[in-house]
């Protein structure tokens, strides 16, 4: 499948873009899933901080086995291969959501929030999803942080996704996907250049400060269990702390907040 021309062609932009030292970008107009592309490249020895970008995915994947689809050329779809720089995989997912929020804040002046664990929201609308996967293979253990951002998709793309939106719809400004990508990678690079002993607490604080619906009541699901509880905040280990109707502290490890 070919991708129709867009006002912000990614391939030529990335060819002439200078990234922070040690980062490289690979671009394909169409990929089944940039996470799968990153995984097979890692198994063949692709280095730390290689970024895999596509204009369109034919088999994009979301969390919990869901499909992630986006109209061709409207979204920023990429996966970052990381093999060092943080001691725990959950920090890499925080790295993805915090860096994405920072880029949206600086480029568009919006106030995105992180719907636990790692969806990026503008108001009540999801504009970005993150799928982080840790695997052994090739040169050792690696983490793939896959990020899908709805950038320039119009309202028709969300006709059947009432909780989804795009940056252009929320800000009224078209965004160059290449510039957004480079801004996110710059933020990631800044975080990863912190000494490891500082990275964890600084990144957790930046993530926790942006937690969506803090002090508000939400409905959460973990496995077969659903409950109403009030969000306290994110914990350093990546779990979400809430208080239930009886005042008990509850921690969610692998569930989600329901919209």
Q: Would you count residue 164 as binding ligand BTN (CB under 6 A)? A: no
Beta strand ranges found along 101-224 (DSSP E): 113-115, 119-122, 125-137, 140-150, 217-222
Q: Phi and psi dihedrals of 120, rounded to 5?
A: -100, 125
The DSSP letter of residue 237 is T
Q: Would you count residue 61 as binding ligand BTN (CB under 6 A)? A: yes
What is the rounded distance in angstroms from the CA atom of residue 92 to the CA atom of residue 49?
12
Q: How far is the CB of 37 from ligand BTN (least distance, A)?
A: 8
With beta carbons less than 8 A apart as the criterion, state whether 129 and 96 touch: no
Q: Which residue of 63, 213, 214, 243 would you call a contact of ligand BTN, by CB under 6 A?
A: 63
Which residue number, 66 or 141, has a Cβ lying nearer to ligand BTN? 66
CA contacts within 13 A on the Cβ side of 36: 10
Q: Which residue of 8, 55, 119, 208 would you call a contact of ligand BTN, by CB under 6 A?
A: 119
Hey, which residues between 30 and 59 contact ligand BTN (CB under 6 A)? 33-35, 57
Q: How far is the CB of 237 from ligand BTN (least distance, A)?
A: 21
The residue with its CB nearest to ligand BTN is 129
Sign of CA dihedral 160, 151, 120, 171: negative
Q: How far is the CB of 148 from ligand BTN (least distance, A)?
A: 3
What is the rounded distance in angstroms from the CA atom of residue 63 to the CA atom of residue 77?
15
Q: How far is the CB of 159 from ligand BTN (least distance, A)?
A: 18
Q: Which helix (H) or strand (E) segment is 107 a member of?
A: helix 89-108
Q: Residues binding ligand BTN: what is the number (CB under 6 A)?
A: 20
Q: Which residue of 148, 164, 238, 255 would you call a contact of ligand BTN, by CB under 6 A?
A: 148
What is the rounded distance in angstroms from the CA atom of residue 229 to the CA atom of residue 237?
20
Q: Would you count residue 93 as binding ligand BTN (CB under 6 A)? A: no
Sign of CA dihedral 85, 91, 92, 98: negative
Q: Which residue of 62, 71, 233, 236 would you call a contact of ligand BTN, by CB under 6 A?
A: 62
> Using CB under 6 A as the criterion, which residues of the chain lie in contact with ligand BTN when the complex forms?
33-35, 57, 60-63, 66, 68, 77-79, 119, 129-131, 146-148
């Amino acid at each position: 499948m070919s991708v129709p021309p867009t006002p912000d062609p990614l391939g030529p932009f990335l060819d002439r873009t200078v990234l922070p030292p040690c980062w490289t970008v690979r671009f394909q107009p169409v990929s089944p899933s940039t996470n799968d592309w990153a995984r097979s490249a890692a198994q063949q020895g692709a280095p730390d901080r290689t970024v895999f970008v596509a204009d369109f995915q034919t088999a994009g994947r979301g969390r919990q086995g869901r499909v992630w689809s986006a109209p061709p050329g409207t979204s920023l779809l990429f996966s970052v291969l990381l093999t060092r720089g943080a001691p725990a995989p959950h920090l890499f997912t925080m790295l993805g959501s915090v860096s994405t929020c920072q880029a949206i804040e600086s480029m568009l002046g919006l106030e995105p929030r992180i719907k636990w664990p790692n969806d990026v929201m503008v108001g009540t609308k999801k504009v970005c999803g993150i799928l982080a996967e840790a695997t052994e293979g090739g040169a050792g253990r690696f983490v793939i942080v896959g990020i899908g951002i709805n950038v320039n998709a119009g309202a028709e793309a969300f006709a059947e996704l009432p909780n989804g939106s795009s940056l252009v719809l929320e800000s009224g400004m078209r965004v160059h996907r290449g510039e957004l990508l480079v801004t996110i990678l710059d933020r990631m690079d800044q975080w990863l250049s912190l000494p490891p002993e500082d990275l964890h607490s600084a990144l957790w604080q930046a993530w926790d400060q942006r937690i969506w619906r803090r002090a508000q009541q939400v409905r959460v699901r973990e496995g077969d269990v659903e409950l109403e509880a009030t969000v306290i905040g994110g914990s350093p280990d990546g779990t979400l702390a809430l208080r239930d109707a009886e005042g008990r502290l509850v921690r969610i490890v692998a569930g989600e907040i329901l919209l």
